[in-house]
Amino acid sequence: MANELQIREKLDTMLSLPLPIARLEKSLGTVRWPGQPERLNFPSGMDLSEADRRELNDRLIELKQVITGENLSVAQCSKARLSLLTKLLLGYPAAGGATDEAGQARLEFYRESVSDIAPWALDAAIKRWVRGDIGKGNIDFAPSPGALRRLCEEELEPFQGQILKLTRLLRALPIERAMDPSPLPPPEVPNAIGKSFAAPQLKVMK
């Protein structure tokens, strides 16, 4: 798990933007034209430099890769999740014992519940449960598969929020273009492997 710990340490450094960029993100405005998606705009006279855009692009790609586990191979992710779940269930065995078939079925339920969760997030969620650092739940027993997934999602939330901020910055327009009612092409932001995809459309104003 050394690699996963290194990943978490790196993620923690990515939870904040440089102060000028963070202030710029908070200052973004919106422009609405009938029949078109809402537009984000920079304050008058402000914009991202090309260097800023490259840096934010790189940060966005890296964040997406790590929080989805795409920085590891499918086999590596599967092996890491299995190791973590096996340790969890050995530490919290089923009450009254269970047959091998029941134990395997139980493990499969857990594997299904976190099949798309990055191993570092699963590791952090399990450690929270073991420490009792949870809002509710009986920590004398293993969390249910659904409860474990929710804990994993809580671990991911701050990073998903950071992705939203980066995406907003990269989608924002100079105010002059935002005030021009002519339609815009579909916005594009980089995906986790460095290509581009059409970003989700904001609400269309009528």
Higher pLDDT: 137 or 39? It is: 39
Q: Is the pLDDT of residue 199 over 60?
A: no
The strand pair at 29-31 and 39-41 is best described as: antiparallel
Question: pTM (2 decimals)?
Answer: 0.77
Q: Is 5 exposed, middle or buried (0-12, 13-18, 19+ CB in 10 A)?
A: exposed
Q: Which candidate, 33, 74, 24, places its Cα nearest to that of 52?
A: 24
Mean pLDDT of the chain: 84
DSSP string, 112-167: HHTTTS-HHHHHHHHHHHHHT-SSSS-TTSPPPHHHHHHHHHHHHHHHHHHHHHHH
Q: What tens digit of pLDDT does each residue of 141-187 get?
A: 899 999 999 999 999 999 999 999 999 999 999 999 999 999 988 76
